Amino acid sequence: MSDNRYPQRKSPRLQGYDYTQSGAYFITICTHKRAHWFGRVTGGAMVLYPLGQIAVDCWNAIPDHFAAVELDAAVVMPNHIHGIIVLPGGGAALGTIIGAYKAAVTREARRQQSAAPDTIWHRRYYDRIIRNKRALERIREYIVSNPARWQATRSYAT
C-alpha cells in the first residue's frame, strides 16, 4: 500500500531503457553526505586514503566478477568516483554491477579498517549512456582532468 504523505521519488534512470544491453556508461557514485573519505587532491593529483585505495581496487576487480564487462577511464576523488563501464549486452544489469561494487567496498573497508564509516555511499548513483565516440572522448577527458579541476574550483584542499 502506498503512503501518499511522502512524494514519489523520480528515478534517475532513463524510462524504458534496458540497462543490460550492450553499451558504454559514464558512472558517478558519491559518498554519503559527500564526506571526503577517499583521499585529498594535492597539486592537481589524488592522494588516496586507505579507503580510497579500497575503492580503486574494488573498481578494478569488477571484470573479475562480471563476465565480459570492460572498464575504461576512472578516477577516485575525495568524495566520489567517476568511471566508464562497457557492458557486452545480455549480462548483468548496470544497477546490479554498481550495487555489487558498493557492497564490495563496504565489506572490504569493514574487514580492513576498524574505524570504517557506517555508511560509505550515497543511496543512488548517476549514469549517462555514452552514445558515440565523440562523447566517449569528452567523458574520458573529463574523468582524467577531474583532480586538476577539483583544485581549481575549490578554495581549500581537503
Q: Judge whether residue 152 has pLDDT over 80.
A: no
pLDDT in tens, 90-111: 778 999 999 999 999 999 999 9
Nearest to 31 by CA among 63, 8, 60, 54: 54
Q: What angle separates helix 133-144 from helix 146-153, to the nearest 10 degrees?
A: 60
- Please give the pLDDT value at position 102: 97
User: In one letter, which amino acid is 75?
Assistant: V
Q: Judge whether residue 60 has pLDDT over 90.
A: yes
- Please give the pLDDT value at position 100: 97
C-alpha cell at 13: 534512470
Q: Judge whether residue 154 has pLDDT over 70.
A: no
Reported confidence tier of residue 158, pLDDT bands at 50, 70, 90: very low
- Please give the pLDDT value at position 153: 59
Task: Locate all alpha helices (DSSP H) within the chain, ordered by sequence.
Answer: 50-60, 62-65, 94-112, 133-144, 146-153
- Please give the pLDDT value at position 117: 86
